[in-house]
Chains A and B, each alone.
Chain A
Amino acid sequence: MRRLFRLPGSTADVARDVRSELGFHLDMRTQELIEAGMGPQAARQAALQAFGDLETIEGECRTIAARGARERARRAIMVGLLHDLRFALRSLRKSPGFTLVSILTLGLGIGANTAVFSMIRGVLLRPLPYEHGEQLVYVRQPAPLAGVANAQFSPLELTDYRQRSRTLPSIVEYHSMPFILLGQGEPRRVQTGVVSANYFDVLGVRPLMGRGFRAGEDQPGAEPVLVLSYGFWQNRLGGDPAIVGKTFEMNDRIHTVVGILPPVPQYPAENDVYMPVSSCPFRMSEFTINTRTARLIHMFGRLAPATTLAQAQSELQGIAITMRAENPAAYPSGQGFTISVASLHHELTSQAKPTLLLLLGTTGFVLLIACANIANLTLARLVRRSREMALRAALGADRFRLFRQMLTEGGLLAIAGGMLGLALAAGTMHLLTGFAARFTPRAGEISLDGEVLMFTLVVCVLTGLVFAVLPALPSRANLVSALKEGGAAVSGGGSHRMRAALVVAQVAVSMVLLVGAGLMLRSLLALQALDPGFDAQRVLTMTLDLNWSRYTSNDLILGFHDRLHARLAGQPGVIATASSLTFPLDGHRRINVPFVIEGQPPAEAGAEPLGDLRSATPQYFQALGIPLVTGRFFTPSDGPNAPNVAIVNQTLARRYWARESALGHRISADTGKTWITIVGVVGDVRHYGLDSEPSDEVYIPFAQLPFREGTFLVRTSADPAVMAKRISEEVLSIDPGQPVANVQTLEEVRGEALASPRLTTSLVLMFALLALCITAAGLGGVVAFSVSERTQEIGVRMALGAGRGEVLGMVLRQGLRLVVFGLVLGVAAAVLLTRLMSGLLFRVEATDPLTFTAMAGVLVLIASAACLAPARRASTVDPMVALRAS
């Protein structure tokens, strides 16, 4: 019965078996007939005769047998799989520590990767939620020499581009302004998107309810209409289903609501409501319409069919050059006006991209380290289980079967880890969205959709494969024979080298992560240590935009502010109050004006000195804690009719009066028609961001340069919330139709400015530390394992007189050799990789030697600690016990 367990597998096997079976029958039958007295020839004939149509029967048998063989094979696979699964479950249950650690580290690794990928998918990969979003472009007009990233466009420029451009057949205009909305309870300050009538059509946004704007509704004299944003409708109007057709009063006119937007990301800014340009009193003013430098408009467009971004860029560049030649006065050469066309997708996501990619790299590395660790643990388990494996091999389990067994265990771990990871990712979704919202308006589009789940699945499968394949590699050729020899080869050289290689890789990757985290941390510290030039503590800021229809003259504006200051002055808790156009870090765009200096030769036309304009009441500097360098602050006597005065910052003073005092010098912003005397020099302020360089600043008394839209600041010793309420009440008591908005402490504003780098740094640091822990555990495990294997050798050494210290040193050296090797690789990799993140760094080189050294130190320290426990155990080996054990 030598073919006892043989079952036909292939079609050839089946055919051979059938032929042999039928042949046997015919032979036996022939024999029987011969024995009954027939001649051999005749007997053969008779046997065939009795048999029937041999060929047909053979074919029939073959078909049935082949079908049966296939069914059996399928069943065997299912049974094998079930068996494997049951076996894997049992074996994982037998080592709960390993299982738990593996699932946890995998869960964290897969969860982090899933979370980061969901952000990348939602923000970077998903097409824009606008119709043919890939054709939408955003046009900038930078003036880099004036430090302006986007000067935007004036209506006159818009008209020129509309008339001359072929690549952008439908250009859209947009700007955003606060207006006061009346008609629904308290007066409300609403951020209003002011757009051309084709805005929603070009962007391809269909209103959720009602309609968008119709052609002509942006022409002068059109009936005022409004489209509400989804958020405003839901949050402020309670989602009123009958809102379309209702009316609001804005700017002394009745506006009718005609539609509601769907919840789509709004760019460049979130707006509460949208109105056609015809309803905006500023956009339609004589000055704005007829002045080429009245740049307040953002330009969007849709590329003409079969047009590329580059074509649009070069066409617009040509138009811009012509335009500059026709109107040189509007484009001072010293400001370096250019034009740039970028896809809207790029505009929406470019800020988020480096951070998201950094996080993807980080979490990817963490997962790699986790995989290496589990592979390492699996290898150690494999050696411990070598007898069991050898037994199974001896019982006929073939190499493939054993490999499949390991694959099943890896798969189970990966699936469990993946499920944990998905739960983690789902649980932290709102945190992620909040994080991403700091970088991109697309944060709302982040979700765990099908593609993210697919990504997680692929990651699970890959990680499962890694655990199964890596441990099998060292004895790839002779796993079974190795196992049959009691596992000697598995615990021998190959396995050792594989485990050492895994630890070296873990150390190297950890080093890369640590260096990355260290660089981020140093950037953050550098950012935090910067003197912003103001004292943010206990300063309350708020937006105070006076209703333009009521405050029609400078006297009325100043009157309001004077009354507010007078009412607050002397109240308990009020230290200083100030009205101003902007305050530091408030995100207002830069307004800079060219000026001339009295007594200095006039600069080339268009290359005049530039100063950032600030308008401030006398206590502005005390309120913000900006120090006076020389001269004086503004006083109440610097009124509208008093001599024109200005205060400049140190940077400006040093630039133009390096060897003398700036005090008493006069400047003019209108080419000498009126002269402004410099009466003070104050400290520099990082106005546009904590990482921005101080610019040239010119402060003008608010009384001499009042603004209807501005901010109100209070330095207080009282509770800011109480103070905010009191100020709001005072404002309403002066003018019951006057809202106060965006109440924030300056501390909060400063915190916000630091929050993004701080969050990113914390995330990267957290992942680096997690990686370090996993690596330390892996290293400790490898060293401990090798100690347990070398117990006898250590016993012999100690019996021969080696001291405990020597043994300790020997084991430590062994572990640290791996660390040093990994460290060298890690430093090399870090030098290559950290360059990619230099855009995210602030005042620290990507190859900062201090960071590299410090992180190497941290790594060696933690690694030594991880080796110490097994080394101590080795040094306490009792030589007698160790020797007897052999």
Chain B
Amino acid sequence: MAGSDLYIGTLDVLILKAVSWGPMHGYGIGRWIRQTTDQVLTVQEGALYPALHRLQRRGWLEEEWGVTETGREAKYYRMTPAGRRQLRTEVERWRAYARAVTAALDAAPA
């Protein structure tokens, strides 16, 4: 993935967040990321898929094949309990990271 655009682990936590409301297919997850981040975090779209497979292999997502509203067969990703726990940890870590960076950037000169 385009690491220059995204901080390490950002894509993973976004994917987990995306599927936290219910099963989604890869295209849906990509679209959600694009839309909710106002296209700020747009990356090469293909980079999403290896990440999805990695998360699935780690047991955070599981696949299920379903049919879309348009009648097409698609692979859906569903969050596992382990994935939900992972999301919680990642969010915590991200917030702490963001707070720290923000605090540093807002600090007055010593």
Return chain A residues, CB-CB under 8 Å to B74. Answer: 21, 24
Contacts of B75 on A, CB cut-off 8 Å?
Answer: 17, 20-21, 24
Contact, CB under 8 Å: B45 / A21: no
Q: Taking CB as reference atom, which chain B residue is nearest A69? A: B57
Q: Are A68 and B56 in contact (CB under 8 A)?
A: yes
Interface residues of chain B: helix, strand, loop or mixed (majority): helix
- Check B53 against A57 for contact (C-beta < 8 Å): no
Q: Report chain A residues within 8 Å CB of B25.
A: 21, 24
Q: Are B46 and A1 in contact (CB under 8 A)?
A: no
Indicate whether B36 reaches chain A with its CB closer than 8 angstroms: no
B51-66: which have CB < 8 Å to A? 52-54, 56-57, 63-66
- A65/B65 in contact, CB under 8 A: no
Q: Which residues of B contact A6 (CB under 8 A)?
A: 65
Q: Count contacts on A: residues with CB < 8 A to the other chain.
A: 30
State whether A1 touches B66 (Cβ < 8 A).
Answer: yes
Instruction: Indicate if the CB atoms of B47 and A57 lie closer than 8 Å.
Output: yes
Q: Known contacts A24-B72, A64-B54; is A57 also within 8 Å of B27 by CB?
A: no
Would you call B46 and A54 a contact (CB within 8 A)? yes
Residues of A within 8 Å of B31, CB to CB, are 32
Let me know if A469 is at the binding interface, CB within 8 A: no
Contacting residues, chain B, for A57 (C-beta < 8 A): 46-47, 49-50
Contacts of B53 in A (CB 8 A): 18, 60-61, 64-65, 68
Indicate if the CB atoms of A52 and B26 lie closer than 8 Å: no
Chain A residues whose C-beta falls within 8 Å of the C-beta of B27 in the assembled complex: 24-25, 28-29
Interface string of B11-46 (1 = CB under 8 A from A): 000000000000001110011000000000000111
Instruction: Contact check, A1 vs B50: say whether CB atoms are below 8 A apart.
Output: no
Give the nearest-CB partner of B65 in chain A: A3
- Kindly provide the distance from the CB of B74 to the nearest chain A CB, expressed in whole angstroms: 5
> Any chain B CB within 8 A of the CB of A51?
yes
Say yes or no: B57 contacts A21, CB within 8 Å. Answer: no
**Max chain A C-beta neighbours (<10 A), residue from B47, B49, B63:** B49
With A20-B75, A28-B27, A61-B53 given, is the CB distance from A1 to B64 under 8 Å? Answer: yes
- Which residues, 436 to 495 on A, are CB-close (under 8 Å) to B? none
Max count, chain A CB within 10 A of own CB: residue among B26, B53, B63, B74: B53
The residues in B between 74 and 90 inclusive whose CB is less than 8 angstroms from any CB of A are 74-75
By a CB distance below 8 angstroms, the chain B residues around A65 are 53, 56-57
B67 on the A face (CB < 8 A) = yes
Whether B46 and A64, one on each chain, are in contact in the complex, defined by CB atoms closer than 8 angstroms, is: no
Q: How far is the CB of B58 from chain A (nearest CB, A)?
A: 9
Beta-carbon nearest neighbor of A7 in chain B: B63
With the chains together, A24 CA to B45 CA distance in Å?
13
Contacts of A27 in B (CB 8 A): 72
B56 CB to nearest A CB, Å: 6
**Which residues on B sit within 8 Å (CB–CB) of A22?**
46, 49
List A residues 169-214 near B (Cβ within 8 Å): none
Alpha-carbon separation in the docked complex, A599 to B31 (Å)? 132
Is B106 an interface position by the 8 A CB rule? no
Measured in the bound complex, the distance between the Cα atoms of B54 and A21 in whole Å is: 15
From B46, B56, B63, A51 is in contact (CB under 8 Å) with B46
Docked complex Cα distance between A52 and B51 (Å) = 14
A50 CB–B CB distance under 8 Å: yes
Residue A4 lies at the interface, judged by CB distance under 8 Å to chain B: yes
Kindly list chain B residues whose C-beta atoms are within 8 Å of the C-beta of A54.
46
Residue of B nearest to A75 (CB): B59
- B35: shortest Cβ distance to chain A, in Å? 11
The answer to whether B57 and A52 have CB atoms under 8 Å apart is no
Alpha-carbon distance A22/B25, docked complex (angstroms): 11
Shortest distance between the CB of B77 and any CB in chain A (Å): 10
In the complex formed, the residue of A with least CB distance to B58 is A68
Residues 22-74 of A at the B interface (beta carbon under 8 Å) = 22, 24-25, 27-29, 32, 50-54, 57, 60-61, 64-65, 67-68, 71
Tell me, rounded to whole Å, the shortest Cβ–Cβ distance linking B84 to chain A: 19
Inter-chain contact A61/B65, CB cutoff 8 Å: no
Name, among B30, B46, B47, B74, the residue most crowded by chain A CB atoms within 10 Å (CB to CB). B46
* B contact residues around A18 at 8 Å (CB): 49, 53
B65–A4 touching, CB < 8 Å = yes
| Residue in chain B with minimal CB distance to A22 | B49
Alpha-carbon distance A559/B29, docked complex (angstroms): 119
A145 CA to B90 CA in the complex, in Å? Answer: 100
Please tell me if the beta carbons of A64 and B50 are within 8 angstroms of each other in the complex.
Answer: yes
B53 to chain A, nearest CB (A): 4
Task: Give B18 Cβ to nearest chain A Cβ, in Å.
Answer: 14
Looking at the assembled complex, report how far the CB atom of A76 sits from the nearest CB atom of chain B, in whole angstroms.
13
Nearest-Cβ distance from residue A78 to partner chain B, whole angstroms: 15
Query: Which residue of B45, B56, B64, B73 contacts A52 across the interface (Cβ within 8 Å)?
Result: B45
A24 to B25, CA, bound (A): 9
Q: Are the C-beta atoms of A20 and B45 separated by less than 8 Å?
A: no
* With A1-B64, A1-B67 as contacts: A68 and B57 at CB distance below 8 Å: yes
B50, A50: Cβ atoms closer than 8 Å:
no
B50 touches A60 (CB 8 A): yes
A20–B56 Cα distance when bound, in Å, is 17
Q: Which residues of B contact A67 (CB under 8 A)?
A: 57
- Which residues from chain B contact A1 at a C-beta distance below 8 Å? 64-67
User: Once the chains bind, are B50 and A51 in contact (CB under 8 Å)?
Assistant: no
Q: How far is the CA of A2 from the CA of B46 in the complex (A)?
A: 27
A71 touching B57, Cβ below 8 Å: yes
A64 touching B57, Cβ below 8 Å = yes
A60 CA to B1 CA in the complex, in Å? Answer: 11
The smallest C-beta distance from B7 to any residue of chain A, in angstroms, reads 19
When the two chains form their complex, are residues A21 and B46 in contact, meaning their CB atoms are under 8 A apart?
A: no
Closest approach, in angstroms, between the C-beta of B88 and any C-beta of chain A?
23
Question: Roughly how many angstroms separate A717 CA and B47 CA in the complex, as a whole number?
Answer: 108
Instruction: State A6–B74 Cα separation when bound (angstroms).
Output: 13
B50 to chain A, nearest CB (A): 4
Once the chains bind, are A53 and B46 in contact (CB under 8 Å)?
Answer: yes
- Cβ-neighbour of A61 out of B49, B64, B66, B67 (below 8 A): B49
Q: Which chain B residue has the least Cβ–Cβ distance from A28?
A: B27
**Nearest Cβ distance between residue A101 and chain B, in whole angstroms?**
45
B25 → chain A closest CB, angstroms: 7
Which A residues lie within 8 Å of B26 (CB)?
Answer: 21, 24-25
Contacts of B66 in A (CB 8 A): 1
Q: In the complex, what residues of B have CB within 8 A of residue A29's CB?
A: 27, 45
The docked-state distance in angstroms from the alpha carbon of A298 to that of B48 is 89
| Cβ 8 A contact of B64, one of A4, A28, A32 | A4
Please report the C-alpha to C-alpha distance between residue A664 and residue B11 in the assembled complex, in whole angstroms: 125
B73 proximity list for chain A (CB < 8 A): 3, 20, 24
Would you mind naming 23 contact pairs between A and B with Cβ atoms under 8 Å apart?
A1-B65, A2-B65, A7-B63, A21-B75, A24-B25, A24-B26, A24-B27, A24-B72, A24-B74, A27-B72, A50-B45, A52-B44, A52-B45, A53-B46, A57-B49, A60-B49, A60-B50, A60-B53, A61-B52, A61-B53, A65-B56, A67-B57, A68-B56
Contacts A24-B26, A57-B46 known; 19 new A-B pairs at CB < 8 A: A3-B65, A3-B73, A4-B64, A6-B65, A7-B63, A21-B49, A21-B75, A24-B27, A24-B72, A25-B49, A32-B31, A51-B44, A52-B46, A53-B46, A57-B47, A61-B52, A64-B50, A65-B53, A68-B57
Closest CB pairs A-B (n = 7): A52-B44, A3-B65, A52-B46, A68-B57, A64-B53, A57-B46, A51-B46
